[in-house]
Structure 1
Amino acid sequence: MFLLGIDTSVKRGIVCLGEKEDIIIQKILSPHSSSQRLLPSLDILLKERGKKIRDLEGIVVILGPGSFTGLRIGLSLAKSLAFTLKIPLVGIPSFDVWVASFPGQGIICPLLQAYGGKFYTAFYKKDERKVYRKSKYLFSAWKEIEEKIRKRFPGQKITFLIPEEYKNLVSKIKLTDNYSFFFLEETAHLKTLLKIGAKNVESGETDDTFALAPLYISSPVIKKRGK
């Protein structure tokens, strides 16, 4: 199954082509360039593999949380292609993919810098067989996250998943013996993204092309231009 994978949830967007969970080719976009580079990058990848866009058999796209503009751009392209080519579309929350690709187990907390000193996050539990999301998606200050940890997981070890490009987040966190950090390589989750997408396409668990929407956890910030 020849799939297109799109992730524009963070600063450096990624587009890839794959056969089920095997990545054939990928391209990392320069920061904040998804609007200009996403479609041209896809065209380049297809040409490099001697493929045409109509060879695609499905599309899997990250829904968020993450960059407001990036999510809108990535999902808009995914929906347009799925509609035009009449192929299945699968949307997956970014944190679900991060946790599924993490090699460890236990209580896991994906952490992504938002704005206003706050973070996007959620709490998961992962064992040998399954991943369970234990909270709703959150848009919270660090003190609020710590308070939730104390109340819900007292004395338990917490692993924070942080993209490599956001390593500086660690400096903003009050460290304890119960906290550990795992830095996600930019493309490490792509195989998991493709694997989940292929499984959903094969089982018929696909999304409505028109109804699928970005996973926004907070309202966008509208900056006013100075006069």
Structure 2
Amino acid sequence: MKHNLLAIDASTEALSLALHFRGKTFTHFEECPQQHSQKILPLVESLLAQANCTLKELDGIVYGRGPGSFTGVRIGVAVAQGLAYSANLKLSGVSTLQAMAQQAMCSSECDEVISAIDARMGEVYLGHFIKDDNGNASAKRDEIVVKPDLIEGDFSGMSAVGTGWQSYADTAHKLSLKVIEDITLPSAEYMLALGDKAFESGETVGAQDAQPHYVRDTVTWKKLPGRE
């Protein structure tokens, strides 16, 4: 990695942070539903102390932009914005679905991953990713929210990650997916490389322009009438 970055994600039950500073990486991951707002800032301070650095010594902040819990996504984005304002840093938002695919590609050496997060109300957030020439997860299609029994496509033999496949194991079996059981929630550690790529290419925003990505406005991978 070329940049010193702090990554924050509060989009799901997990609260995850990662800090890359001068060649070393420091991480924190825990499942703590409904405690994110109380814990996130002390954990940021703890990681900075471990690395013996300050916010102003960083090149930027990476935040989990969603999808996930609306409240959790907002907490993560708001904290990232506040920290960026205080230190005059740029930001890059990373998809939670993409982060899980990135972890799978790093740990299992798979080239194509279907990520799914349980979206409640009988739906999942769904993303389809392939490994690019640099070894990073790249979106093959737009992320969507969909009822599991309406998922269409040939995914036979592809790797799958996320809570969506735990909640809807029958759908994973029907689609012939290979579920990686130990990757269920996004980890900020795997947002670092994706954020580093964004900072390298200048795909960053100021604090005022950091936005969540809820995905609720996209509902199917089936082509709409008239858009085939």
TM range (shorter): 0.7 to 0.9
**CA offsets, 1:116-173, max 9 Å, x none?**
111110223336656442322111111111xx12xxx27x43321125xx77325453
Q: Quick one: structure 1 residues 5 and 127, their matched pair in 2 at CA, closer, same or farther if it must change by over 3 Å? A: closer
Secondary structure of 1:51 counterpart: coil
1:223 is aligned to: none
Over 3 Å counting, the alpha-carbon distance change for 1:34 and 1:54 in structure 2 is same
Q: Is it true that 1:113 corresponds to 2:118 in the alignment?
A: yes
The counterpart of 1:89, out of the listed 77, 88, 91, is 91
Gaps of 5+ in 1: 220-227
Question: 1:211 corresponds to which residue?
Answer: 209
User: Aligned-pair distance for 1:189?
Assistant: 4.5
Q: Hey, what does 2:143 align to over in structure 1? A: 137
1:101-128 CA distances to partner (integer Å, 9 max, x unpaired)?
Answer: 3234454210110111111102233366
Counterpart for residue 63 of structure 2: 61
SS of equivalent to 1:61:
strand
The residue correspondences of 1:1-227 to structure 2 (distance < 5 A) are 1-19=3-21, 22-28=24-30, 30-103=32-105, 104-126=109-131, 131-145=137-151, 148-149=152-153, 153=154, 156-162=156-162, 168-173=166-171, 175-176=173-174, 178-185=176-183, 189-218=187-216
Percent identity of paired positions between Structure 1 and Structure 2: 23
TM-score by length of 2: 0.78
How far is the alpha carbon of 1:177 from its aligned partner? 7.7
Contact 2:66 2:95 in 1 (8 A): yes
**Residue 187 of structure 1, CA deviation:** 8.5
For the residue of structure 1 that corresponds to 2:65, the secondary structure is strand
The range that moved more, 183-192 or 37-46, is: 183-192
How far the C-alpha of 1:195 sits from its partner, in A, is: 1.7
Cα gap change, 1:2/1:106 in structure 2, threshold over 3 Å: closer, same or farther? closer
Report the RMSD for the aligned CA atoms in angstroms: 2.9
Structure possessing the higher radius of gyration over alpha carbons: 1
> Secondary structure at 2:120's aligned position in 1?
coil
